[in-house]
Amino acid sequence: MINIDHSKARYLLDGFNGEAIPEELAGSFRAFLAIENLYVSATREISTKLENLNDEFKTNMDRNPIHEIKTRVKTPRSIMNKLLRKGHEISVESARTNLDDIAGVRVICSYIDDTRMIADLLTSQDDITLLRKSDYISNPKPNGYRSLHLVVTVPVFLLKSTEHVKVEVQIRTIAMDFWASLEHDLAYKLPKEKAGKLIDELKECADVINQTDERMQKLFNILIT
């Protein structure tokens, strides 16, 4: 068994609570630790681009379409579990090839139209490559979830090379984020015997929230015309 310095690797060892790490996992953890900076840097690159767009809107149009930007990088524990669930080899190379959401950026916008505008502005930049787009705003998930998901690559410039790193970008309104955050919390604690009724209620809430989103968009359109 090998003990790893938790003060330096808290991100990696989420959930182990000071336990010794089996030898066969220690090498994988070290490898994931070595690329942590790569994925953190990728989220920083995306965030900077979005902040620049938001600042330009403020200067030129006296408003900020982006309300908030959040970033996260999956823990190796989460990465390994996902690789296992999908039947992939547990390695850094496998994770980089098979997982699109190791690095994530969530963009919370004021209005529905802002979500698509920000997506178009981001993906039109010369160094951003769009790999996949899933529009759950136009086509919500069965439970009512709405958001615009992009998988892009962004260059990260290192000392001796440039890496093109995949980042999942989720773009949604304040209202969509409110619902998604509470739905995640409720669904996580949901007893099986109450699942049916609560799922129906959550779907109804999502529809009501969407109606409010659309009304707010109409009000904004009246304001700017």
**Active site positions, annotated:** 168
Of 210, 57, 31, nearest to 121 (Cα)?
A: 57
* Three-class SS of the chain: CECCCCCCCCCCCCCCCCCCECHHHHHHHHHHHHHHHHHHHHHHHHHHHHHHHHHHHHHHHCCCCEEEEEEEECCHHHHHHHHHHHCCCCCHHHHHHHCCCCEEEEEEECCHHHHHHHHHHHHCCCCCEEEEEEECCCCCCCCCCCCEEEEEEEEEECCCCEEEEEEEEEEEEHHHHHHHHHHHHHHHCCCHHHHHHHHHHHHHHHHHHHHHHHHHHHHHHHHHC
* CA–CA separation, 153 and 87 (whole Å): 24
Asked if 164 contacts 153 with a C-beta cutoff of 8 angstroms, the reply is: yes
Tokens 């681009």 found at: 49
